[in-house]
Amino acid sequence: MIKRMKGTYDITSDIRYYQAIEKQIQKVSRLFNYQEIRTPHFEQQALFHRSVGQDTDIVSKETYDFKDRGGRMNTLRPEGTAGVVRAFIENKLYAEPKLPQKYYYLGNMFRYERPQKGRFREFYQFGAEAFGSNHPAIDAEIIAYAVTLLRGLKLKNVTVHLNTLGDKASKAAFEDALKNHFKDDIEHMCQDCQTRYQENPLRILDCKVDQDKAIMQSAPKTIDYLTKTDQKHFTLVQDYLKAMNIDVIVDHNLVRGLDYYTHTVFEIKVSKDLLGSQNAICGGGRYNHLVETLGGPEVPAVGFAFGIERLVMALKENDYPLVEDAIHLYLLILDDTARLKAVEIAQKLRLGGIITELDYMEKSFKAQFKQSAHHNARFVGILGENEVKENQINVKDQQSEVEETIALDDLYIELAQKLTKQRDDCKDCDKGESS
């Protein structure tokens, strides 16, 4: 038997968690006025390799690269930002009158990494990018957008970790300080750190191998190397977050993996009890020079990306209240005359918004009844030769257990009324997926 590839997975019964998350994403994106953008799953290899520098977690060793039949080098997208930025430039979206331009995406990403709990080779990300403003209020908005999604999903034990890297001058001063700090010890640190020392010293702070070493604990902090303007930007981000009642933990060791970040960087984590070590569910920040680096005009931007699998895992641990999969009516069919009628009725009801299922297995009455229970049918309708002749149907309400005979001409209106009444009576309508 052919099995799925390592690091990939099938979504079967968990699909309802994905759908609940997607529904919430659409709702919150609408509230914050971000518009969906869809970009290709593969891009020219140069997009990722040029955009993110050499020593980051998402280039070369972790991307899926392949040559197509035309000899072009392609890469399966390992993240969403680079593709969105490419589309922003290629489609001249920067010339659109609406400012800032706010986009969100949802789609599969591919990284050739070692699979473990919460880490896959193909996974889903929901991300957002706001282009055109360098104002700290939009850094705060993007964090509020992410947090509002989590609140909508009723996820508890969530913390927002915030830091700033400052812009070019602050980052350069900080990198110099880091190089100076590590220069005598770097040869005793891991191989990755030695490469990072040369290419992107900031990333030494992300190292999991050497993180407990004293030299790491005493490393310089970004906050001490900020220019006055960058310091003000960071203070304002925090003020705006406070105004929105969003609590954050300022963590000066947070630098994020990619070297394109400037100013604000943040990560959202759920407690380790829920997800273990892969407990970061969202990461983001400002990237004021990426558009230019990729050949566009000078356009500041800020964004984030969520890992959907980790969100699903967290929701399951939180006992997220999924709405039961249920149908409105199951039609039990007693003979072939009834089948023709059932097909006709089902189509009419479905067009009117009533979720209808019918027997296709030619099973016994009892077996069909069992099927109606598997489908969680609210109503069961029984159709035989007699019912067709009399132009009526026997309907049982599985909730109240009331059985009645309804004229087929009145079936739609009768069911619609009963279902509307149920909706009006619903006390828990703002729970779970329905919110």
CB of 307 to ligand AMP, least distance (A): 2
CB of 232 to ligand AMP, least distance (A): 26
Residues of the shown chain interacting with ligand AMP in the complex, contacts defined by CB under 6 A: 79, 111, 113, 118-120, 123, 125, 257, 280-283, 305, 307, 309-310
CB of 258 to ligand AMP, least distance (A): 7
Asked if 50 and 294 touch (Cβ cutoff 8 Å), the reply is yes
CB of 105 to ligand AMP, least distance (A): 12
First-to-last CA distance in the chain?
A: 42
CA atoms within 13 A of residue 405's CA, in its CB half-sphere: 8
Q: Which two tokens stand for residue 45?
A: 């290899």
Letter for the amino acid at 280?
A
Measured distance CA(19)–CA(254) in Å, rounded: 32
Measured distance CA(52)–CA(11) in Å, rounded: 31
**Considering beta carbons, is residue 220 or 283 the nearer one to ligand AMP?**
283
CB of 159 to ligand AMP, least distance (A): 13
Measured distance CA(377)–CA(329) in Å, rounded: 5
Name the strands in the sheet holding 327-333, side by side, starting at the edge strand that comes first in the sequence. Answer: 356-358, 327-333, 377-383, 392-397, 403-407
**Considering beta carbons, is residue 165 or 346 the nearer one to ligand AMP?**
165
**Considering beta carbons, is residue 22 or 113 the nearer one to ligand AMP?**
113
**Considering beta carbons, is residue 277 or 417 the nearer one to ligand AMP?**
277
CB of 425 to ligand AMP, least distance (A): 39
**Considering beta carbons, is residue 127 or 166 the nearer one to ligand AMP?**
127
* Strand ranges inside 258-391, DSSP E: 262-270, 280-286, 301-307, 327-333, 356-358, 377-383
**Considering beta carbons, is residue 79 or 387 the nearer one to ligand AMP?**
79
| Residue of this chain nearest to ligand AMP (CB atom) | 307
Asked if 88 and 101 touch (Cβ cutoff 8 Å), the reply is yes
**Considering beta carbons, is residue 163 or 368 the nearer one to ligand AMP?**
163
CB of 435 to ligand AMP, least distance (A): 23
Determine how many CB atoms are found less than 10 A away from the CB of residue 217: 9
Measured distance CA(115)–CA(344) in Å, rounded: 50
Q: Which residues contact 305 (CB under 8 A, 6 or more apart)?
A: 79, 80, 81, 125, 126, 127, 282, 283, 284
